[in-house]
Amino acid sequence: MYISGGIGKKPNGDLTLYEDLWRFDASTNAWTQLEDPPDFISPHAFPVVYDNKAYLLDPHSFPETGGRTQVYDMNLDRWEYVNWTCQQWPTNTSWFGGVAVQVGDKVYAFGGERYYIDTQSEADYITEAWKFDAETRDCERIEDMPLPMAQGDGVWWGELGSILLWGGRGPDEFVDPRLLVYYTPPSAP
């Protein structure tokens, strides 16, 4: 298991963002600190594990970084960069609080809050859904969710061949915790 970043408190009580990387080996019950990422990784980055590499896809960055994504190679224990294209991604926005669920080599991202950088307008809850493809390193917008939500949770339910989403926040504060949303990817494994 790999864990990167997080929020903690300094001795004076101020909050700080950590930019470290740790690996936990369940067979030895031991943690090992690995090389820190070369650049800051947003706490909202979507992790994509594919071909023994962990891609930390930050939706805050598109297209400001030109789609450059930090990647940790688990075999070589080192960081690198790759280009991840997303031609459809909205410009001048920051996206956070979305729910991401990996299914094979695809990551499906649902909802979240969008802040409009150029107008400095407040964040709004969105219904958008996106598919990120680890093999082609591309993304595309897919069918929107039926209602806006952010900060919920989700899981791939293989027996149903669907993604299950629940909870979180919406325009009316908290989303009803009994609400369940199913999404079945067209090319589900």
In a domain, 75, yes or no: yes
CATH number, domain with residue 60: 2.120.10.80
Please give the pLDDT value at position 168. 81
Whether residue 151 is found in the same domain as residue 60: yes
In a domain, 189, yes or no: no
- Would residue 28 count as lying in a domain? yes
State the Cα–Cα distance between residues 77 and 182, nearest whole angstrom: 37
Question: Per this entry, what is the length of the chain?
Answer: 189
32 and 50 in a single domain? The answer is no
Residue-wise pLDDT tens digits, 71-99: 899 999 999 988 877 777 766 666 778 88
- Domain-embedded: residue 188: no
- The DSSP code sequence of 12-71 is TS-EEEEEEEEEEETTTTEEEEEPPPSS---TTPEEEEETTEEEEE-TTTTTTTTTEEEE
Total tally of structural domains belonging to the chain: 2
Q: What domain range is 47 assigned to?
A: 37-183
Residue 138's Cα: distance from chain center in Å? 15
Are residue 124 and residue 141 in the same domain, yes or no? Answer: yes
Look up tokens 């101020």; give the residue: 14
Q: Are residues 169 and 179 in the same domain?
A: yes
Chain-wide mean pLDDT for the chain?
A: 81
- Tell me the per-residue pLDDT of 130-166, one tens digit each, with 9 for 90 and over: 898 889 888 888 988 888 888 888 999 888 888 988 8
